[in-house]
Structure 1
Amino acid sequence: MQAVELFEQKVGPSEVARRLRVSVKSAYQWRQLWQEGGVQALASRGPSGSRCRLSPRSLEKLVVYLEEGPAAHGWVEDQVWTASRVVTLIGRKFHVSYSVSGATRLMHRLGFSPQVPVRRVAERDERAVKVWREATWAEVKGRGRPAGATSVSRTKPASPVGRPGAGPGAGAE
């Protein structure tokens, strides 16, 4: 443990923090723990956070289910595992609840990454979409506002200059 070696050499917490690239607060906490409980007090307690809710056997089964693909489990729209789908799959197969962020971390741990599906119809006709954009959309969209019709600032209306009684000091006569 580098921090202990430095503390034994009478190096201050600020310098320990700088050398080990940690916060000064952490270095002070480490020194206090070391002084009160020795090297054992600084030993790692393992990964933080809650424990995995699935057993090792269940994790193996989950990997098999994920490798089968979403269609094998009822999602036929696209072949994408989203975190919310994995939450549903875990609930159905193992009767365990996970949050979306928890499922995302679990997927990363298992070597998968959640995907965001493209919201597109499977039977989409690209030629028809292109024709619609070029003909119909141009007609529906219109030309827009003339250049001088709006204020430069999005947060203020046009300048009060020229409006009777609207400028600073109006009515102060």
Structure 2
Amino acid sequence: MSRERLSAGQWARLEAELRRGPPAHGFEDDQRWTLKRVKLLIGPMFHVGYTVQGVWKLLRRHGWSCQVPVRRAVERDGAAVEVWKQDVWPEVEEWRRTWAPTSASRTRQDRP
């Protein structure tokens, strides 16, 4: 296991900054922390360089985990999705032959 380069006080400060969220640190386009963003936050704050993998190890060591959004995007239009599924998807989806015999062999092709 690699040696941690942040002291307990530095980690507490970093955790407080992470809890403030990405917009507080100039990441307005997305409301999620990425490993690259955390890396960019650590460098100037503590003058310590971490790799992306090192940031992941640091966060896991302190109980942070990979997160997936619980809710769907506010911009999602459910009605438009349903229309697409009913009208567009059947045209895009490839037709499957379910009645014809098939072969698992790489050298022997399907029989006509």
Query: When the two structures are superposed, what TM-score results if normalisation uses the length of structure 1?
Result: 0.50
RMSD of the TM alignment (CA)? Answer: 3.1
**Greater share of residues in helix:** 1
- CA drift of 1:95 comes to 3.2
Structure 1, unaligned runs of 5 or more: 1-48, 162-173
Partner of 1:25: none
SS of residue matched to 1:50: coil
- CA drift of 1:116 comes to 4.8
Q: Distance in 1 between matches of 2:78 and 2:99?
A: 34
Cα gap change, 1:68 to 1:98, in 2 (>3 Å): same
Q: Distance in 1 between matches of 2:16 and 2:10?
A: 10
SS of residue matched to 1:137: helix
Q: % of aligned pairs identical? A: 43
Partner of 1:27: none
Partner of 1:131: 83
Per-residue CA deviation, residues 15-63 of structure 1 (Å, 9 max, x unaligned), is: xxxxxxxxxxxxxxxxxxxxxxxxxxxxxxxxxx332122333212101
**Residues 1:152 and 2:100 are matched in the alignment:** no
Q: Which amino acid is 1:109 matched to?
A: R
Partner of 2:13: 61
Cα gap change, 1:140 to 1:110, in 2 (>3 Å): same
Bigger-Rg structure (1/2):
1
Whether the 8 Å contact between 1:151 and 1:157 is mirrored in structure 2 is no
Q: Which structure ranks higher in relative contact order (CA pairs < 8 Å, sequence separation ≥ 6)?
A: 2
Partner of 2:59: 107
Matching of residues 1-173 of structure 1 within 5 Å: 49-116=1-68, 123-145=75-97, 147-148=99-100, 151-153=102-104, 155-158=106-109
